[in-house]
Structure 1
Amino acid sequence: MSHHHPSLSRRRLLAGALGLGTLGALAPLRSAQAADFKALVCIFLYGGNDGMNSVVPMDAGRYADYARVRAGLALPQASLGRLGTSDFGLHPALAALTPLFAAGKLAVQFNVGPLHAPLTKAQYRADAGRTALTPPSLFSHSDQQVLWESASTDAQSRTGWGGRASAALGLVSPVISVGGNGHFGLSELAAPLVLPGPGDGFGAAGLASADMTWKPNALKLDAVKSLAEQSADTDLAGALQKQQIDAMALSEQLGPLVKRKPGEAGSNAAIDAAFAPLIVNGNVSTGLGRQLYQAAKMLDVRATLGGNRQIYFAQLGGFDTHGEQIGTDALSGQHAGLLKQLGDALACFQAALTALGMAESVTTFTQSDFGRTFKPNNSNGTDHAWGNHHFVLGGAVKGGFHGQYPVLALGGPDDVGVDSWEQHGRWIPTSSVDQYAATLLGWMGASAGQLDTVLPNLANFGSARSLGFL
């Protein structure tokens, strides 16, 4: 698994020293619930998902091109789940998503990736990485994760676009992560609010409400609270103290809900019913399923977290499929197992949102390090590439296909390669991460000025600021 862990800043080291580092910052809690609530849910597919086998062309000409180059990795045409009456089908492991496409709730964004500005193959070849036009460290996991999570072409970016958006839009809560402390949720002064899975305690070690029956823990909590309430001499110290106070208040408030598992007293029957296909012996059976079950619970009590806009982060790792990507048939092998986990969890999550009356209010979208080479390698797998196809899901989504599908020719107009040795089908993106993020944040209500603040390269795309899927 190829996670990227941002280097620890002094702020996070300080917070970690008190055992509160992963709790994040929380602004004063509001109980008022705004009528026009909206939330974004990012699902990061770590390792680089193979978009070429996630969405496959089914028309005779392009399927023939696909099958010829993909060879042993090509999915049989009959196994694909055709999307409506279109010329594209989904990997059979994503079968749970085909009804959502039919209902107009699933959009596919073709060939999106990090770009400084629009880029043609001729420009890319002439630039040869000498200027900002070519994003840095292409095809590297850690660097490309940062470029996607930060929506920038600066591999040293300290903040994520989710974190910057939450600061620019003045959101009451920081990014709410059910998938660990990713780069996506970092802002200049706040870390994401990191929640554990169902069944786990939420709170600093020994300082959660459940620990207060033992007197030394109660005394420890009092000491930490009094330290946090002393006047701070720097902005950094003040921000840290505020994080600690808010985190302690929040863990008391949310602890019992975070811990609750399906079927337990007080659990939401509608959410449990929606996740029923994934529930085994009272537990949600997959990692991504558990994360989205937590997100559904938090969205159900959205007023507790406060504000009418929220941003969530979840993740699934294991997509670095250099070998044994496909098994003996289309539904076996490493990639199929990962896509099944993704499709099933997304379908259950969408069913839960529908049951809560929130289908129109929540938009879920995927991100990943990069796409993978069109041409397989010699190990029954694929290597690192660039542009990729992504999914956007929700009641507000304009279902269907968006962006330009690449020309399926090795060495063709979309492939970075010219000479035969470098013709692997690494697509130059025709849509940028900035445009992708701007489309999502524009739906959230971000103004043109706020989008320019959060997405520094957006201005380079002129009037083409939205990709049109919302």
Structure 2
Amino acid sequence: MDRRHFLRAAGALGALGVTPISLPVAQAATGYRALVAVMLYGGNDGMNTVVPLDATRYAQYCSVRGSLALLKTADTEHVRGPIAPIGDGSWGLHPRLAALQGLADAGRLASVFNVGPIVRPTTRSDFAAWRYLNDATKLPEALFSHSDQQKLWQNGAARTDASTVGATGWGARVAEKSGAGIYSFSGNSRFGTGATRSALILPGPGSQMAGGLSAWQPDATWAPNIALSNAFLMTMKAPTTDPLFKAFAKLRGNALDAVGRLGGIVAATPGGTGSNSAIDTAFQRGYACGTATLTAYSQSLGKQLYQVAKMIAANATVGGSRHIYFVSLGGFDTHGNQPDQHADLLSQVGIGLASFHEAMASLGLTDSVTSFTMSDFGRTFKPNSSSGTDHAWGNTQLVLGGAVNGGGWGSYPELTLGGPDDAGISSWEYQGRWIPTTSVDQYAATLGGWLGLSASTLLTVFPNLGNFATRDLGFMKA
């Protein structure tokens, strides 16, 4: 193999995300459980995702939010109303999340309030004393920065220095400790990057995993193609003392294993070869969205969740009794025209998660699969002058599944600009950037514990978890 062909094949393997993953052995799962991380890039506005509906707080909310406030009455496109009441009516979902209303009422949706990267419990006076110290043992690095806060959310430690977790993600670290397979339908991420193994990156529906491996044609019937394919496979077995080619042969073997085992699952489309009718029905169900009717499969996030649903349905073929998946949706940096933009984005979240949950129910796996959101940070409670919001800190996250203890969890911020939860110290800073009262470590550890990690192991996965008295937030059943 000359250098040009080596690099071309290596690029194809890299696109498959096979470095340095090893797949679980294909076998029927016992006590199967899966986590599905839904990353909302840009900083989702949690204040308009779940809204308090008790008279006092709703009045406070409306007085500050003004033209961005969600309404109890309907508008034509359901951009601002009607809020969808959940549970006992104390809380409500954005109107474009109405597809999740029934699941919330059934106790399968948890709202976890004011979560964010913090190294240790942090009060407003702590923040005032620490914010100029540049001390990563007290406050997270580069607050309010997209790229930095995305990393901190995904690394689950509020620090990235070598003394903690370095450049690894908590999804990969949980996978390493639990023996879980970890997979991404949204490219590379910090979440799936581990010290010894990383997420296998897979394409969307209808895609062929063999992609750039053009020399390998496992279904070839023409003699020259069969010979070429066999020669391609033989290069893995050729004796060599070259460590580069040994490493490449191992990577190629992993890639071919992934293609052979997962290729048909990944390529299936609704109604096509290898498709699952129950999953297809769930993802092609129409949901009213303003004056339009949308399906999950017509949207980016929905297509990713469709891929996850097929993998979970075929968990015995995928292999292992524990899986972790990563999907994402971007566009949540709503500095301007937030009502319309946020409504469109939350349509994808609501319809996608509702369809995914329906698919899990059809497979009898409702209690075995938990999906949850993450995002860079929350957004300012006080709107800006462009009908939008700016970068903040603590945020509301959603957790969905049959093993979820539904309702509200954590401490909802006090809705007072310049109050005890506001990171603004001087009056000109009073924007409602909430200092988190729950850490990413606690949130992630609660999910990792449900997947099967022990309390002692969780302390090694999340090195700052020991700074918090409560390490299991309680929103997951045993």
The question of a shared fold, defined as TM-score above 0.5 by the shorter chain, is answered with yes
User: Which of these residues, 88, 102, 105, is aligned with residue 102 of structure 1?
Assistant: 105
Cα distance in structure 2, aligned partners of 1:106 and 1:224: 48
Label 1:104 to 1:249 Cα distance change in 2 as closer, same or farther (>3 A). same
Q: Is the 8 A contact 1:229 1:241 kept in 2?
A: no
TM-score by length of 2: 0.88
Match of 1:271 in 2: 279
Label 1:98 to 1:107 Cα distance change in 2 as closer, same or farther (>3 A). same
Label 1:325 to 1:32 Cα distance change in 2 as closer, same or farther (>3 A). same
Structure 1 position 88, deviation (Å): 1.0
Match of 2:474 in 1: 468
Query: Secondary structure at the residue paired with 1:116?
Result: coil
Label 1:48 to 1:221 Cα distance change in 2 as closer, same or farther (>3 A). farther
Match of 1:17 in 2: 10
* Aligned residue runs from structure 1 range 58-457, under 5 A: 58-78=53-73, 79-130=82-133, 131=135, 132-155=137-160, 157-171=166-180, 173=181, 175-205=182-212, 206-207=214-215, 209=217, 212=220, 215=224, 219=228, 222-223=231-232, 226-227=235-236, 241-277=249-285, 284-326=297-339, 333-457=340-464
Q: Is the 8 A contact 2:216 2:228 kept in 1?
A: no
Cα distance in structure 1, aligned partners of 2:237 and 2:8: 11
Letter in 2 for 1:87: S
Structure 1 position 401, deviation (Å): 0.6
Letter in 2 for 1:408: L
TM-score by length of 1: 0.89
Calculate percent identity across the aligned residue pairs.
50
Aligned Cα root-mean-square deviation (Å): 2.6
Structure 1 position 21, deviation (Å): 1.0
Query: Secondary structure at the residue paired with 1:311?
Result: strand
Structure 1 position 237, deviation (Å): 8.0
Letter in 2 for 1:86: G
Instruction: Kindly provide the CA deviation profile for residues 12-46 of structure 1, in whole angstroms up to 9, marking residues without a partner as x.
Output: x9898342113224435523213200000000000
Structure 1 position 256, deviation (Å): 2.3
Cα distance in structure 2, aligned partners of 1:229 and 1:468: 54
Letter in 1 for 2:411: Q
Cα distance in structure 1, aligned partners of 2:454 and 2:239: 38
Match of 1:329 in 2: none
Bigger mean CA deviation after superposition, 341-350 or 445-454: 445-454
Cα distance in structure 1, aligned partners of 2:282 and 2:14: 33
Match of 2:40 in 1: 45
Q: Give the paired residue count.
A: 448
Cα distance in structure 2, aligned partners of 1:381 and 1:143: 22
Label 1:358 to 1:140 Cα distance change in 2 as closer, same or farther (>3 A). same
Cα distance in structure 1, aligned partners of 2:253 and 2:104: 44
- What residue ranges of structure 2 are gaps of 5+ in the alignment? 1-5, 74-81, 288-292
- What residue ranges of structure 1 are gaps of 5+ in the alignment? 1-12, 327-332
Letter in 2 for 1:247: A
Instruction: Kindly provide the CA deviation profile for residues 273-303 of structure 1, in whole angstroms up to 9, marking residues without a partner as x.
Output: 1112259999920001100111010001111
Cα distance in structure 2, aligned partners of 1:335 and 1:358: 31
Instruction: Kindly provide the CA deviation profile for residues 383-413 of structure 1, in whole angstroms up to 9, marking residues without a partner as x.
Output: 0000000000000000111000000000000
Label 1:15 to 1:239 Cα distance change in 2 as closer, same or farther (>3 A). farther
